[in-house]
Amino acid sequence: MTGLLVVLTLLLKGDGSSAPAPEVISSTRHSAAAAHVPPFITSPGSSDILLGVMAVVLVAAVLAIGVFFFWLHSLPERLVHKSTKMHFDIVAVLALLSLFTHMHVFWVAALLLALVQVPDFSMSYFSRILNRITISLERIADSQTTKGNPSISENIRSRSHDEHK
């Protein structure tokens, strides 16, 4: 950043350029002029360094605000990144809707949805529950069949193993 300011200052002063120097007007002061002039007021014919510095500051500020805006806009997606795919997709769609429609209610909904833990309603979740129920029923059947007929327990085990494959 400092190097950019030095190069900009050299270009504005005219040092090192092949263009002819502008004609310098004699710096005679008016009798009513103040004796001390602030450094940002330039004499006639010289370049305005403050204008160049403020142009660089303005461009940097616009870029920084843009980066901050997009960083803040992606906050709900970053919060839900390690969640389930369905949860992430819903939050991402809401965030994109708010970006393209400029309706902030979608972004607020995405942020609230990212902060809430959504239960997993996928088939793998239900199959895990059914698998645990099956294992529990096998244990109950094993405890009941040790007193009675052991062939019932083997029949239940063979069916559950066939369903898992």
Whether pTM exceeds 0.85: no
pLDDT tens string 69-99? 999 998 999 999 888 888 899 999 999 999 8
pLDDT, mean over the chain: 79
Structure tokens at 149: 């007929």
Q: Based on the domain organization, do 78 and 109 belong to the same domain?
A: yes
The pLDDT value recorded for residue 67 is: 96
Report the domain count for the chain: 2
Does residue 88 fall inside a structural domain? yes
* Domain annotation covers residue 109: yes
pLDDT of residue 2: 75
CA distance 134 to 11: 80
* Host domain of residue 157: 123-164
In a domain, 4, yes or no: no
Residue 112 and residue 129 share a domain? no
> Do 61 and 110 reside in the same domain of the chain?
yes
The answer to whether position 105 is within a domain reads: yes
Tokens 């083997």 sit on residue: 154
Residues of the chain falling short of pLDDT 50 = 15, 17
DSSP state of 24: P
**Is residue 90 domain-resident?**
yes
Q: What is the pLDDT of residue 54?
A: 94
Same domain, 87 and 144: no
Same domain, 146 and 127: yes
The answer to whether residue 113 sits within a structural domain is yes
Whether 109 and 75 map to the same domain: the answer is yes
Query: What's the distance, CA 91 to chain centroid?
Result: 13
Q: Which of 16, 72, 24, 81 is nearest to 47 (CA)?
A: 24
| 137/134 Cα distance (integer angstroms) | 5
Q: What pLDDT, on a 0 to 100 scale, did the predictor assign at position 65? A: 97
